[in-house]
Amino acid sequence: MGKGTYGSGYDAGRGGYGDFPVVRPRRLRTTPAMRRMVAEHRLHPADLILPVFLREGIGEPVEISSMPGVYQHTRETLRRAAAEAVAAGVGGIMIFGVPEEGKKDATGSCGTDPDGILQVALRDVRAEVGDDLVVMSDLCLDEFTDHGHCGVLDERGRVDNDATLERYAEMACVQAEAGAHVLGPSGMMDGQVAFVRRALDEAGHQDVAMLAYTAKYASAFYGPFREAVDSSLTGDRKAYQQDPANARESMRELALDLAEGADMVMVKPALPYLDVLRRVADAVDVPVAAYQVSGEYAMVEAAAQRGWIERDRAIMETLTGARRAGADMILTYWATEAARRLR
């Protein structure tokens, strides 16, 4: 006999008649139309945010070897990618800048240069898509520092939290002036949301929103991203990113970010932290994002290339998993592709 509820005669408590079940959940799985109608969670193109990289000083896009199908863009191809995202119905785009070799320094000065590569990217994308796409900007120093850390270092080589906040405030203002709709402070410095919010408001950028990287874990899944941004990191970021063993700590970070004025909050990575994502989503009344990071992307692509999994189904399943766990928005390198499929 198959799975069901049985008894000798009808058993109201168990839902069975003799040897045959009355309660048959499979009835709601019989056809694609039926499954679609009763689906509990749905993906929509507007739920998706596309992370992109603009690399300074290249004439052609450069494929990232550990992320097949993802590129460091030229200015021209970045504008094209933004336009394609709009056409597919993607909700937003998160921009990262990769400066030319030799331009990184100890304080990440390219990040606060009005003509730095990230600000150039913001202006280009806004010129291309206007307000048809939510243009987001990574607010962190790691792409621009010669040591690869997310902040400035003190005399002992440690990330100086409060000195870094000053740099973030400068960065936030130039990014807002370059056209960002949303800033994503991702460095996990204490007090970063409040400090940046005050700087933005004092500079007249009250309408620029903040997507707080609330629970950003010191994860092994960031490896391909470091290739994408030509990271100079030595050591690790465990002294400021969150310990993978901790979940309760993320709720403390969440309370702080909300009190400091975050408009949206994020859990990063997505797949290894779906439990944290669920807890965050259950606790807040602001939009919740999940970042499907480079390592998650690379795992699926590598396994699919070897014929070990069905690529397209795996992509949609991982996105649905994040949505089911509570994400209102998902940053994913498959955003444009998945949006086209959803449409």
Active-site positions read: 216, 268
Both ends of the chain: CA-CA distance in Å? 41
Structure tokens at 126: 């806004």
**DSSP-assigned letters across all residues of 272-302:** GGHHHHHHHHHH-SS-EEEE--HHHHHHHHH
Dihedral over Cα of 27, 31, 34, 40: its sign: positive
Structure tokens at 183: 């800033």
Asked whether the beta carbons of 130 and 181 are under 8 A apart, the reply is: no
Comparing C-alpha atoms, which of 162, 118, 160 is closest to residue 143?
118
Find residue 93's DSSP bridge partners: 50, 135
d(CA 153, CA 55): 25
d(CA 129, CA 113): 23
Angle at 282 between CA 272 and CA 88, to 5 degrees: 65
Dihedral over Cα of 27, 31, 33, 36: its sign: positive
Angle at 293 between CA 291 and CA 294, to 5 degrees: 155
CA distances from 251 to 52, 217, 221, 248, 279 (A): 29, 13, 22, 5, 8
Comparing C-alpha atoms, which of 253, 327, 295, 323 is closest to residue 43?
323
Which residue bears the tokens 């100086």?
Answer: 160
